[in-house]
Structure 1
Amino acid sequence: MSYPFQLKKLPYEYTDLEPCISKSTLEFHHDKHLKAYTDNFNKAIETVTEVHNCSVEDILKNLTLIPENLRQGVINNGGGVFNHNFYFDGLTKEKNKKIPERLKCLLEENFSSVELFIEQLKKAALTYFGSGWAWLVQDKENGKLKIVTTRNQDTPLGENLNPLLNLDVWEHAYYIDYQNRRADYIEAYMNIIDWDVVDSRLK
């Protein structure tokens, strides 16, 4: 996908993630919020013709190609596009999907157990102040897995990290369903992770 970027269709129906995430939340989150990021990203790079054949990911990895006066808009909106598509693609209507053996072994190797990994991911998402994301990433140099957080629509792409999974803790991701109960949203999110997709993202 390249410029002009289009709103990517969800890989499931709006009702498929219920009761964990409601149809109303998905409609607002995808059709309104992600649509706005997509439109604003196109506007931000409209005059930067040298990146028009690049993917969102490649643009975010090479921000020096973007004039400084446009760069923050590209980070905010391009990050919004990448982060949201990555998030939506990592969810599934199949509840409590089994973790593939390769990924399971890596989680046990890096976090002692799958249970400890889940605990750490939930803690990172719950304790993050303000709007942002909790991520499972893989270090490109040594292959190790770790949990990081990013603020607003920042991504880990420019830090030599390969993203595997992300958890959206902006209020628009959960407020219709859970109001201020971020912990309940995080707990529900854990039931609809597509572990096959996460495993496929390993390098």
Structure 2
Amino acid sequence: MKHELPALPYDYNALEPHYDEQTVRLHHDAHHKAYVDGLNNAEAKLAEAREKGDFALVKHWERELAFHGSGHILHTLFWENMSPNGGGPATGLVAEEINKFFGSFETFKKQLSAVAVAVEGSGWALLCYNPMFKKLEILTAEKHQNLTQWGVVPLLVLDVWEHAYYLKYQNKRAAFVEAWWNLVNWEDVNRRLADCLK
């Protein structure tokens, strides 16, 4: 079954003034869609290779599968992790876990922001739950799939590819990161963490 671009959980202009409608529309309808299309293409090419028994290009298509599949997953989380009614300090279970592993919400926020601003090239900052270590981790992902840990479950993701912010924030990534905190959907993050701890 082919993957489809999920609809946004809010209107294109719902995240204004922190995230402008033009960027949201372009980011979702063009960039996220390109990852969905790339994932479908990679899966089709790998199915074709299996059918023909010709794996000469398997390395290429496996890389495409990882890149586009991760891009689709992370973008889906990115949209769901934001809300027009979001922002403020963490609440509920995730607030308790943040205090346990990072000391305070402010320390957590400073670390995640610093990671987001510093990740090299095109990448992501992620708050994840590591079930093996039974703890929260802040990680980065260059491109969509590099520099992460096996087995972690992303709870909160921040896209810092230039296409995520360049129309409004231009080269001011730190300003975009600061504005994004006004949109964080802690209800969604809490639901994801609760699922991990079941």
TM-score exceeds 0.5: yes
Q: What residue is the counterpart of 1:102 in the other structure?
A: 93
The 5 Å alignment of 1:156-175 reads 159-175=150-166
**1:91–1:142 Cα change, 3 Å:** same
2:118 to 112, 117, 127: 127
Q: Does 1:148 align with 2:139?
A: yes
Return the offset for 1:27.
0.7
Corresponding letter in the other structure for 2:132: E
Structure possessing the higher radius of gyration over alpha carbons:
2
Do structure 1's residue 118 and structure 2's residue 109 form an aligned pair? yes
Question: Is the 8 Å Cα contact of residues 139 and 148 (structure 2) preserved in structure 1?
Answer: no
TM-score by length of 1: 0.86
Moved more, 73-82 or 109-118: 73-82
Relative distance call for 1:16 and 1:122 in structure 2 (3 A) is same
1: CA distance, partners of 2:77 / 2:147? 12
**Aligned-pair RMSD on alpha carbons?**
1.9
2:34 and 2:136 map into 1 onto residues whose CA distance is 32
Point out the more displaced range, 136-145 or 11-20: 136-145
Q: Distance in 1 between matches of 2:149 and 2:132?
A: 13
Q: Which runs of at least 4 in structure 1 moved beyond 6 Å after TM superposition? A: 155-158
Aligned partners of 2:107 and 2:116: how far apart in 1?
A: 14
TM-score normalised by structure 2 residue count: 0.88
Gaps of 5+ in 2: 49-56
Residues 1-203 of structure 1: matches in 2 within 5 Å? 3-49=1-47, 67-97=58-88, 99-154=90-145, 159-202=150-193, 203=196
Contact kept? 1:97, 1:194, Cα under 8 Å: no
In structure 2, how many angstroms separate the alpha carbons of the residues matched to 1:70 and 1:144?
Answer: 33
Name the aligned partner's letter for residue 85 of structure 2: E
For 1:120 and 1:102, the matched residues in 2 are separated by: 19
Distance 1:42 1:110, change over 3 A: same
How many residues are paired up?
186
- Whether the 8 Å contact between 1:76 and 1:152 is mirrored in structure 2 is yes
Aligned to 1:58: none
Q: Tell me if the contact between 2:141 and 2:148 (Cα under 8 Å) persists in the aligned partners.
A: no
SS at structure 2 position matched to 1:15: coil
Partner Cα distance (1:195, 1:32) in 2: 27
Structure 1: segments with no counterpart, 5+ residues: 51-65
Secondary structure of the 2:182 match is helix
